[in-house]
A and B are shown apart, each in its own frame.
Chain A
């Protein structure tokens, strides 16, 4: 398939692999930030093409994984209202809350629907004026413009029965949280290509300077990731800590200006809780003052729902790159995709699910 096969060429992959071997002289720990990259690394076996000295650790960039348990519980509470049509992207539906998931709400008679765009949810609201339509606005900077546009359009067209349950998080504050942790092992980053497509990469310069880490904006295909690793290793070997852009076919320095404008119009930055990590200052979005009428948390009064996580689950350490999925004692035993203890095992982009799916359980190995 055009524009895909070119980036999965085995010969070119081999060349990049050889180049990475050639430039590597010492151990390096590199974190790929985005869950999409983790998925591709494990799916295509990219980590098997790089030298043993390089450890890839899997970052917190899986929106499903970092959505706090209490927001899932709030979503479940809202979706259980008989007058609600609850709309979500598909992969949130299987994430377990403290007692059940959204699929169970659907099975019990709740109107829970998978949509492919938040604008579809606005349309559902227009078509069902007697119902309350709530969209579960989960994601990083990547999905923020679409979600912002949905609220913007709802306000513009007077769609009063539409609201968002917002769980938006931001990449740069999470990177800073990882880098400033005393346990941090990460020495270089592959920044998330699609987040940077929206936001650009200017905000990474101060991080690279302050923490002296190379940051390479990287795409999602095997050759993108191999090239990103190669660029990052070269910087580490040469003692440089710069922001570089591997994913230039999609990412511009200033990002997508129109998308950033709508985000700025609809959202404001606030502290956010991250599943497995805890609260990170200024690390997420909430609806700005002009749009609070569209806040489902207020409309359904669920902000009082708070939930603690399973003490067995080590997804927090995995999301920060301190542990690998196989290092968790529950991996493949108490915790499987059928009975996930934490969201990293549920989402297809979660590091634990990717390892389980493509590397097999402990039994298979």
Chain B
């Protein structure tokens, strides 16, 4: 993801009175008003937000819209390659894109912990706006709450998003057919390992950078080429393996992939080996799997590789006749095994 820091002219923090968020910033009075006006409205500036209404009134050119929501809690707030603000925009934008929708509007709800440095909030808000501009979405409504110190972990963000369906194509797990190719848009496991490395103070030979990125542009390119995509799924929590299990369950087919075909960056691979993790279960924030008819694979790959977020796109497997919810994988030494969904998160091994 491109660096957003230089995107908006480096203006000083608009609220100088307190260096930290106070309970009164959520109290409904002047301080809250100042925070909203000087920081949020000023940064997210757009005509819809400027209505200053209790609700944003949107006009919609399409019969069908997509609507989604997600909440973002992460420690640390800043990690190599991104921060919680970029995640909060990309995550919801990407969920809309996976439904084949063109993301248009976002809402944002902040839960702030008393004592959060205003500077931190400022950086997050600026990066949210820069990411929103990159995705072509507007933040049109919002909410702020401040809770006592210790009652939240610095900042929680909820975003909801509305996207417009410009194409009539049904993009849905149930549309996946036997014979479809499974394509991933790039290397997997980077976001999860980047966050873990910072959180746990693990240092590796080279920094692992999160893959957080908006995918709406890439999806737009695929759909505008008329490719008959059957399903799209972003590979967030639970990683590639969990996403494939969910799709296999929904489409009532088996999915077979090849371990040797799955792209994993060397430093991510190394970190996973050291901790006893399997990269196919590690979260991404800028990767997705596409299920496309086999005859359209090459065209899809050409389009994807022409976009910065899809340069590492490759085929990793296919949909096969088989039991619903059963994903199999040819291991690196050429033997098939099941790729199950994990019962919880991966835990580092003793030895």
Contacts and interface: CB of A to CB of B under 8 A. Distances in A.
Interface of chain B, main secondary structure: loop
A45 B270 CA distance: 22
Interface in A89-117: 89-94, 114, 116
A219 interface: no
Nearest to B338: A360
A8 interface: yes
Contacts of A49: 333, 335
Contact of B332 (A10, A336, A337, A357): A10
Given A1-B273, A360-B340, A90 B333 contact: no
A10 B333 contact: yes
Nearest to A61: B351
Contact of A364 (B273, B335, B338, B343): B338
Interface residues of B, number: 29
Nearest to B336: A45
Nearest to B323: A364
Given A1-B266, A359-B338, A360-B338, A44 B350 contact: no
Nearest to B343: A337
Interface string B317-333: 00000010110000111
Interface string B53-95: 0000000000000000000000000000000000000000000
From A36, A91, A92, residue with most partner B Cβ within 10 Å = A91
B26 to A, nearest CB: 26
A143 to B, nearest CB: 5
Interface string B258-292: 00000000100110010110000000000000000
B349 interface: yes
A42 B266 CA distance: 24
B326 to A, nearest CB: 5
Interface in A226-265: none
A10 B326 contact: no
Interface in A336-363: 336-338, 348-349, 356-360
Contacts of A20: none
B88 to A, nearest CB: 26
A142 B349 CA distance: 12
A1 B269 contact: yes
Interface in A126-174: 138-140, 142-143
B351 A139 contact: yes
Given A1-B273, A337-B343, A357-B340, A116 B334 contact: no
A143 B351 contact: yes
Interface string B192-213: 0000000010100000000000
Contacts of B347: 90-91, 93-94, 114, 348
Contact of A45 (B200, B325, B331, B340): B331
Contact of B351 (A1, A13, A63, A94): A63
Contacts of A93: 347
B350 A92 contact: yes
B348 interface: yes
Contacts of A46: 333, 335
Contacts of A60: none
From B273, B331, B335, B351, residue with most partner A Cβ within 10 Å = B351
Nearest to A120: B201
A266 B106 CA distance: 60
Contacts of A43: 331, 337
Contacts of B333: 8-10, 13, 44-46, 49, 222
B247 to A, nearest CB: 16
B244 to A, nearest CB: 14
Contacts of A63: 350-351
Contact of B348 (A44, A91, A143, A194): A91
A10 B259 CA distance: 12
Nearest to A9: B333
A358 B276 contact: no
Contacts of B343: 336-338
Contacts of B332: 5, 8, 10, 44, 222
A48 interface: yes
B28 interface: no
Contacts of B335: 44-46, 48-49
Contacts of A91: 276, 347-350
B344 interface: yes
Contact of A358 (B202, B337, B342, B346): B337
A114 B351 CA distance: 14
Nearest to A45: B335
A358 B330 CA distance: 11
A48 B266 CA distance: 28
A318 interface: no
A290 interface: no
A45 B335 CA distance: 5
A196 interface: no
Nearest to B349: A91
A35 B200 CA distance: 25
A89 B349 contact: yes
Contacts of A333: none
Contacts of A64: 350
Given A5-B332, A10-B334, A357-B342, 4 more contacts: A49-B333, A64-B350, A337-B343, A348-B349
20 contacts: A1-B273, A10-B333, A14-B334, A43-B337, A44-B333, A44-B337, A45-B336, A91-B350, A94-B344, A142-B351, A222-B332, A348-B347, A349-B349, A357-B338, A357-B340, A359-B338, A360-B326, A364-B323, A364-B325, A364-B338
Interface of A: 1, 4-5, 8-10, 13-14, 36, 42-46, 48-49, 63-64, 89-94, 114, 116, 138-140, 142-143, 194, 222, 336-338, 348-349, 356-360, 364
9 closest A-B pairs by CB: A45-B335, A90-B347, A90-B348, A337-B343, A13-B333, A8-B332, A360-B338, A142-B351, A89-B350
